[in-house]
Chains A and B, each alone.
Chain A
Amino acid sequence: MNRREPPLLATWALEHLAAGERDQALTGDLLEVFHQDESRAWYWHQVLSACALSWLRALQARGSLLVFAIAWSAAAPAWTAVIDRTLHNARILGGTWQMDWPFSSLSRFSIWIALNFVFLWSGILVYFLVQPRTVKLLPWKEVRRPFLVAAAILIPLYFWTFILMNLVDYPGVAVDRASVGVVSGLIDIRMWANVVRMPYFLTLLFALWQFVPRFTRPTQDNVHATPPAPPSLPEQASPPPTVEPADLVRFFILLVSAGLLNAMLAAVILCHLPNAHTPSISSLTMRAIFYVVTGALGGVFGTWLYWKHPSCPFRDSTVLPFPLFALVCAAGWVWVPPVVLFFEQVSPGAALVATIGAFILGVGLRSTTEFVFVPAASGQPWPLYGHTDLFVDSLYRPPLDAHGYIIALGLYAAGAALLAHSNYTAAALLALTAFLFGWKVTVPRGTSQSARQASRRAATRLARVVIPAVLVTAWALLEGVAHRNHLAEVEALPLSPDAAASRDTARRNGTTSFGPGGFESLILWPTPPKKQILAPIPAPNPLLALGSKRPLVIRFDGDYRYVQNPNQPPGPHAHKSHASPLQVNIHSNNGVGVFMSAHQELASPIPISRCREIQVEVANEDNRQGMIFLGLLIKDSSSHKDAYFLGQQLIASTSPINFMIKMAPVSESLRFKIPAGASLNKFDEITVLILPDIEHQFVAPKIAIRQFELLRR
């Protein structure tokens, strides 16, 4: 015989839609009676009445809360008027702050959110003040919960109300909000005012819903229950023993790395220099605060993603809760934005700030979180001061710890990287070294502190480093703006010969560089020669003249091009300047090589049938060791054919033998034969490729093209 079953939907409604905490005795009673031949209608009636009664009781228990929420939210229109005026003033202040989009919008939105939170949190505080006895009975976690809930649900409720209002009465209630005053907003009973009150009323109600004296049954109420389990130990010093110590360490590194990576990503995406050339201090400070918060939140979010992963052994740890871990790591992540800003300026400050941040992170992690897994792995108590060998005893034994050697090697390598202008490498090495140093010099607190104490310490540490981090970020912004303004000034100089010379002088004061903070590519034009005062005498092209055997001499007056991708021409933002390659120092600072070439356009095309050889005369003032080759390309710009490569030749003065005796700048002539069967019929462009070896990979060689001689075939 099939047993009748009650409506599933009704049972689900009873278990999920009834207010308050409910045990399953009522559901069982209804099932028992239903199975004694009651109808489905009876079951539905019982379920609906039980749900209605539960909500009625819940509202009765919260009568004072309902009255309070209605009274407090009645002031919402007045507070909205205050917010509008504040935002209007903020707009005026925005002109002073010189905030650019999206920071101007972000700052306005932040002010709007902050003022709304002030309104709601004030309401919650007032509600707590009128119920001091209830507050005293509750733990701190319960007391702070309404503040967090209010902050979390206000914005969704606000926009939900906005959308609903537009759906009901599109395009919404037309109200001149500028005319709403603070006092008139209090007594405004128009629909607009009530709609404004709605999200605040609901937010207060939801936030404080649990905040009522509730009856709770004792937990040991089962007459047939099995003997209660022995109470767990007050805070176990290690996660469950089923987790391997190696896994703990692996996850620990993963969590820190994920946070660091995410903080860097957030900083790279969101942290940029202000557009203003002379930003105010308040603007820089606001921006610095935003960037520091961005770094911290980005890191926390990155860690949280992995922390909540089911395989994470720290997920349910009571001794290392996520807020504690986030607070500890945030003290290091707040330094990521200034590091990124300094990187963009190719400043050694990046290495310095990265060192500071890594040291703070290492110290914080060691002192707060090390005890989570090390005692479990070793089974040994923490060494205390006075329990270890000191001085003379320790001198008789060679040190076995490798960290000292690693730190020393890291420092030396970082110094070498700094000398080689490799800021990325230097910053990474110094950060690793500082982290290791901080980790090793810090004595863990072990299990002597509870999670709450550790959280308090971590919060204090974070509060101490936030202000320095903001100041350093503001410094990085100032440096960046100054650096950019200097480059802009050099760029803005006019291109007259004198001005160009002065610009070149200004450029030579610094060193022209590629990579972050430098130029994406560079075009160098020879300094214009002094204007000819002799009357021009038109000379026929000797190659084309009948019976002539003289070569055609073309003095080089084209441009030198410096790019990092040899397959791409200089971009539209290429820096252009007048100078000779012999006068400037051009190098790469981002680890990508520099490719140099020289281009000469001819006034008229030269037939291949008339030209058998091109001699290139070069001036070599490069005193760096290493061989340099010269390649030659000719091209017909009127056809779609590719350039024809005439081969490459060694600049003899750069060969090891000649380099040893080369003391002064030398001139050389390199000959490139043009085969009669070349794929081109004529050419009107000559490109000289300077092909250095690895010694000149990152520094452009000081080699200039003097002239071309085209010999008759």
Chain B
Amino acid sequence: MNDRSFLGEFELMLLLTIVQLGDDAYGVPISRELERHRGRSVSVGSVYAALERLEGKGLVTSTLGDPTPERGGKAKRYFLITKEGMRQVRETRRVLTKLWKTVPDLKSDMLEG
């Protein structure tokens, strides 16, 4: 994996949500958590598109669960973050934290000015 490839904003949010949800991380709860934290609706399709991209990069893995009647007989796909995914999350946090520390006091009046 290329060390210089950094996570995008949405990808980082997804990885953090998967870590937060643990074993119950599939499409619906991931979308709900993202909506709750971001405060706006999220397309389930975009969540799956990003998850597939992350899976292609080896940052998450997925497994199929059992099909259930309320889902029309369709199985759930559970996502789990990989070691590489965790490493990239930590690396991104480290870089962001370092960047935040270099920024002088951000006051609301400065931002507005």
Nearest-neighbour CB distance to chain A for B66, whole angstroms, equals 5
Residues on A with C-beta less than 8 A from B77 are 23, 25
B49 interface neighbour in A33, A47, A57, Cβ under 8 Å:
A57
How long is the Cα–Cα vector from A29 to B64 in the complex, in angstroms? 13
> With A31-B70, A223-B63, A224-B66 in contact, is A50–B52 under 8 Å at CB?
no
> With A28-B74, A29-B44, A32-B70 in contact, is A53–B26 under 8 Å at CB?
no
Please name 12 further chain A to chain B contacts, defined as beta carbons within 8 Å, in addition to the given A49-B43, A217-B62, A222-B65, sorted by A numbering: A25-B27, A26-B27, A27-B74, A28-B75, A29-B31, A29-B44, A31-B70, A31-B74, A46-B43, A49-B46, A54-B45, A223-B64
* Chain B residues numbered 11-56 whose CB sits less than 8 Å from any CB in chain A: 26-28, 31, 43-46, 48-49, 52-53, 55-56
B107 within 8 A of A: no
B98 within 8 A of A: no
Residues on B with C-beta less than 8 A from A53 are 43, 45-46, 49
The contact string, 1 if C-beta is below 8 Å from chain B, for chain A 658-697, is 0000000000000000000000000000000000000000
A552 within 8 A of B: no
Residues on A with C-beta less than 8 A from B63 are 221-223
Contact indicator A223/B70 (Cβ below 8 Å): no
Contact indicator A27/B72 (Cβ below 8 Å): yes
Complex A-B: 10 CB contacts under 8 Å: A26-B27, A26-B44, A29-B26, A29-B28, A29-B74, A50-B45, A53-B49, A217-B55, A224-B65, A224-B66
B52 interface neighbour in A51, A215, A221, Cβ under 8 Å:
A215
A30 within 8 A of B: yes
Contact indicator A223/B27 (Cβ below 8 Å): no
Contact indicator B64/A222 (Cβ below 8 Å): yes
* Chain A residues numbered 34-54 whose CB sits less than 8 Å from any CB in chain B: 35, 45-47, 49-51, 53-54
A28 interface neighbour in B46, B71, B78, Cβ under 8 Å:
B71
Contact indicator A26/B48 (Cβ below 8 Å): yes
The contact string, 1 if C-beta is below 8 Å from chain B, for chain A 189-233, is 000000000000000000000000001010001111100000000
> With A32-B70, A32-B71, A224-B65 in contact, is A25–B43 under 8 Å at CB?
no
How long is the Cα–Cα vector from A46 to B37 in the complex, in angstroms? 20
Contact indicator B64/A25 (Cβ below 8 Å): yes
> With A223-B63, A223-B64 in contact, is A30–B44 under 8 Å at CB?
yes
How long is the Cα–Cα vector from A680 to B70 in the complex, in angstroms? 98
In the complex, the chain A residue whose C-beta lies closest to that of B78 is A223
Residues on A with C-beta less than 8 A from B31 are 29, 33
> With A28-B71, A31-B74, A32-B71 in contact, is A23–B45 under 8 Å at CB?
no
Nearest-neighbour CB distance to chain B for A334, whole angstroms, equals 49
The contact string, 1 if C-beta is below 8 Å from chain B, for chain A 44-85, is 011101110110010000000000000000000000000000
How long is the Cα–Cα vector from A28 to B44 in the complex, in angstroms? 11
Residues on A with C-beta less than 8 A from B27 are 25-26, 28-29
How long is the Cα–Cα vector from A221 to B67 in the complex, in angstroms? 14
Residues on A with C-beta less than 8 A from B72 are 27-28, 31
Nearest-neighbour CB distance to chain B for A575, whole angstroms, equals 79
Nearest-neighbour CB distance to chain A for B90, whole angstroms, equals 24
A24 interface neighbour in B26, B44, B75, Cβ under 8 Å:
B75
Residues on A with C-beta less than 8 A from B56 are 215
In the complex, the chain A residue whose C-beta lies closest to that of B77 is A25
Q: Which 6 A-B pairs have the closest CB atoms?
A: A28-B74, A50-B45, A25-B77, A29-B27, A28-B71, A215-B56
A50 interface neighbour in B26, B48, B62, B65, Cβ under 8 Å:
B48
How long is the Cα–Cα vector from A54 to B48 in the complex, in angstroms? 10
Nearest-neighbour CB distance to chain A for B109, whole angstroms, equals 39
How long is the Cα–Cα vector from A225 to B56 in the complex, in angstroms? 23
Contact indicator B43/A50 (Cβ below 8 Å): yes
Contact indicator A221/B28 (Cβ below 8 Å): no
Nearest-neighbour CB distance to chain B for A679, whole angstroms, equals 89
In the complex, the chain B residue whose C-beta lies closest to that of A28 is B74
> With A27-B72, A29-B26 in contact, is A215–B64 under 8 Å at CB?
no
Contact indicator A29/B55 (Cβ below 8 Å): no
In the complex, the chain A residue whose C-beta lies closest to that of B79 is A25
How long is the Cα–Cα vector from A54 to B44 in the complex, in angstroms? 12
Contact indicator A25/B75 (Cβ below 8 Å): yes
Contact indicator B76/A50 (Cβ below 8 Å): no
Contact indicator A221/B48 (Cβ below 8 Å): no
Residues on A with C-beta less than 8 A from B43 are 45-46, 49-50, 53
Residues on B with C-beta less than 8 A from A221 are 62-64
Residues on B with C-beta less than 8 A from A24 are 74-75
Nearest-neighbour CB distance to chain B for A40, whole angstroms, equals 15
In the complex, the chain B residue whose C-beta lies closest to that of A223 is B63
Residues on B with C-beta less than 8 A from A57 are 49, 52-53
> With A57-B49, A222-B64, A224-B66 in contact, is A33–B75 under 8 Å at CB?
no
Residues on B with C-beta less than 8 A from A54 are 45, 49
